[in-house]
């Protein structure tokens, strides 16, 4: 089993409300090419998801043609003619209405005689095999009128061939582990395209573990009359779940808003917490399918407040340590054999930072390299590990205030030299704090060009479909808009050069 995950301190539990589901439809259009035989004209068809009045074709990051239709349509065809040096390039399209455009379509490369660009190969639903699981490889091309072929590394012949559907995608069922790639050809005797990147399929004895979270709907630690939901998330849909306490399966009321997850409603958590909790899953309706590995455990601690408060103090003793300082918070209980929890409160919201079960009566909690995000009020409580499982009231709060500024992030380009027009440019922004939003800004502009929230301490930010207008210097920063709102300083700039500009 993995390390225990400290999540929440509970003071009493019962009823849980329902959560509404959200549905998202990607409005980006699809761009497909046809008539690629040398000497013939080439056309590009932009297929919209919704009826559109406007269609725009872009080449190497720059708009080439914008068409306004008299009536909404689902597609528009752009005729390029014979492929020449002038028409070679990387194309995308977008559709829209009078007031807004969709996002950009997939990329289509027009390279000239004898070259067929590689397709994209992906896997659904996961990249591993277990008995009873049906797996599919999807080969996505950008040319119409082709045949796709699937190859497994080490085999002399192609595994299978398939015709694409309306969106240029071919489907291949897979029941063997291995390294796969796909290609396509225009005619039965035509030459093959460049192969896709390799996709590896593993065969597993048991599925990998799910993730178990606590769903905190309130802004504070729950009090008497509230409840806790534990959400178990599997890496695929069409599964059934189990929730385990310390030694047995727990029968709980459940609800779901998505086929890959379920919420267990804990309405009567016992005084001892009833945990640690773990969940697992298996393929739905297949009794002989193996159960997955267990999730990392989640611990819930209930305190009835019947025992006297512990003592809490800090080393160093200052309440305003310098940024980067190691702060130790020590919680002293009345005897050995207790479990301690360190509680962090900011703007009325409380959560457990850590748990400890020391051999003696003193727990030592560390806050390494403190920054402004560690500011707030800290307290600790303790609980008995044996019946009657009584718990203490909270200690007096220790207020910690750390001044800024936040550590500056570092921005690194994921390319070398100049970027080819029409390609995407990836930049990695590396910070020092997890669970923040990273933003990419161009020199001289106040608004972020793109942003990404991540649970980690870094993010890959992308400039889609680079054109001459993207040349310049870029910096990144990170921010939080939660109870403790902050924004970092900008990183050192990175220069983006666009080839040919």
Lookup: tokens for 319: 């309440």
Q: Is 171 exposed, middle or buried (0-12, 13-18, 19+ CB in 10 A)?
A: middle
pLDDT tens by residue, 258-309: 889 999 887 766 655 556 889 999 999 888 889 999 999 887 767 778 899 9
pLDDT surpasses 50 at 204: yes
pLDDT tens by residue, 385-444: 888 778 899 999 999 999 877 888 999 999 999 999 999 999 999 998 788 899 999 998
CB atoms within 10 A of CB 209: 20
pLDDT surpasses 90 at 384: no
The residue among 252, 250, 251 whose CA lies nearest residue 227 is 252
**Cis before 388? omega within 30:** yes
CATH 3.30.465.10 fits 311-400, yes or no: no
CATH top class, domain 410-496: mainly beta
pLDDT surpasses 60 at 17: no
Same fold, 30-105 and 311-400: yes
Q: Measured between alpha carbons, how far is 407 from 433 in angstroms, rounded to an integer?
A: 9
pLDDT tens by residue, 101-134: 988 999 999 887 667 889 999 999 999 999 888 8
The residue among 4, 1, 2, 3 whose CA lies nearest residue 299 is 4
Lookup: tokens for 84: 């020449």
Question: What are the b/e assignments for 270-292, b being 16+ CB within 10 Å?
Answer: eebbbbbbbbbbbbeeeeebbeb
Quick one: average pLDDT of 16-31? 60
pTM above 0.85, yes or no: no
**Residue 166 pLDDT grade (very low, low, confident, very high; cuts 50, 70, 90):** confident
Lookup: tokens for 254: 């459940």
- Percentage of the chain lying above the pLDDT 90 cut: 53
More reliable by pLDDT, 71 or 111: 71
Q: Which CATH architecture has domain 120-203?
A: Sandwich (2.60)
CATH for the stretch 5-21+207-298 = 2.60.40.10
Q: Which CATH architecture has domain 30-105?
A: Sandwich (2.60)
Cross-strand partners of 403: none
pLDDT tens by residue, 415-430: 999 999 999 999 999 9
Quick one: average pLDDT of 358-363? 95
Q: Measured between alpha carbons, how far is 222 from 36 in angstroms, rounded to an integer?
A: 64
Lookup: tokens for 482: 């939660």
> Which residues touch 190 (CB under 8 Å, ≥6 apart)?
none
Helices H, strands E: what count in the chain?
0, 37
Q: What is the mean pLDDT of the chain?
A: 85
Cβ 448 vs Cβ 475: under 8 Å: no
Where are the domains positioned within the chain?
Answer: 5-21+207-298, 30-105, 120-203, 311-400, 410-496
């Amino acid at each position: 089993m993995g390390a225990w995950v400290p999540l929440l301190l509970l003071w009493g539990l019962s009823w849980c409300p329902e959560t509404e589901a959200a549905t998202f439809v990607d409005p980006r259009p699809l761009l497909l090419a046809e008539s690629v035989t040398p000497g013939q004209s080439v056309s590009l068809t932009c297929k919209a998801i919704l009826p559109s009045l406007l269609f725009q074709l872009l080449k190497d990051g720059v708009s080439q043609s914008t068409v306004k239709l008299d009536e909404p349509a689902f597609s528009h065809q752009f005729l390029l003619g014979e492929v020449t040096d002038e028409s070679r390039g990387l194309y995308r399209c977008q559709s829209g209405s009078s007031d807004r455009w969709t996002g950009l379509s997939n990329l289509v490369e027009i390279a000239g005689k004898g070259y067929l660009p590689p397709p994209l190969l992906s896997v659904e639903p996961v990249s591993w095999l277990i008995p009873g699981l049906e797996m599919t490889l999807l080969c996505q091309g950008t040319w119409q009128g082709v045949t796709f072929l699937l190859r497994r590394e080490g085999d002399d012949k192609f595994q299978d061939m398939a015709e694409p559907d309306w969106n240029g995608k071919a489907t291949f069922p897979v029941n063997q582990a291995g390294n796969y790639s796909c290609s396509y050809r225009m005619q039965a005797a035509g030459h093959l395209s460049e192969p896709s990147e390799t996709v590896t399929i593993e065969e597993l004895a048991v599925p990998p573990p799910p993730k178990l979270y606590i769903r905190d709907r309130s802004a504070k630690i729950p009090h008497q009359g509230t409840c806790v939901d534990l959400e178990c998330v599997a890496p695929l849909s069409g599964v059934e779940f189990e929730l385990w306490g310390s030694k047995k399966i727990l029968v709980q009321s459940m609800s779901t808003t998505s086929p890959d997850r379920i919420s267990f409603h804990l309405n009567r958590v016992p005084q001892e917490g009833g945990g640690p909790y773990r969940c697992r899953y298996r393929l739905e309706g297949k009794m002989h399918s193996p159960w997955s590995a267990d999730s990392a455990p989640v611990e819930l601690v209930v305190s009835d407040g019947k025992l006297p408060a512990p003592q809490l103090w800090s080393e160093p003793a200052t309440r305003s340590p310098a940024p980067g300082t190691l702060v130790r918070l020590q919680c002293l209980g009345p005897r050995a054999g207790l479990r301690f929890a360190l509680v962090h409160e900011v703007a009325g919201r409380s959560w457990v930072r850590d748990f400890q079960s020391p051999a003696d009566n003193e727990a030592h909690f560390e806050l390494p390299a403190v920054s402004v995000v560690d500011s707030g009020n800290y307290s600790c409580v303790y609980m008995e590990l044996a019946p009657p499982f009584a718990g203490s009231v909270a200690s007096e709060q220790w207020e910690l205030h750390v001044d800024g500024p936040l550590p500056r992030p570092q921005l690194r380009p994921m390319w070398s030299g100049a970027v080819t027009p029409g390609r995407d440019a990836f930049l990695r922004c590396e910070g020092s704090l997890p669970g923040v939003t990273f933003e990419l800004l161009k020199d001289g502009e106040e608004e972020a060009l793109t942003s990404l929230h991540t649970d980690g301490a870094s993010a890959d930010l992308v400039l889609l479909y680079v054109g001459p207008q993207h040349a310049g210097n870029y910096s990144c920063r990170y921010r939080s808009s939660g109870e403790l709102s902050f924004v970092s300083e900008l990183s050192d700039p990175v220069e983006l050069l666009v080839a040919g500009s």
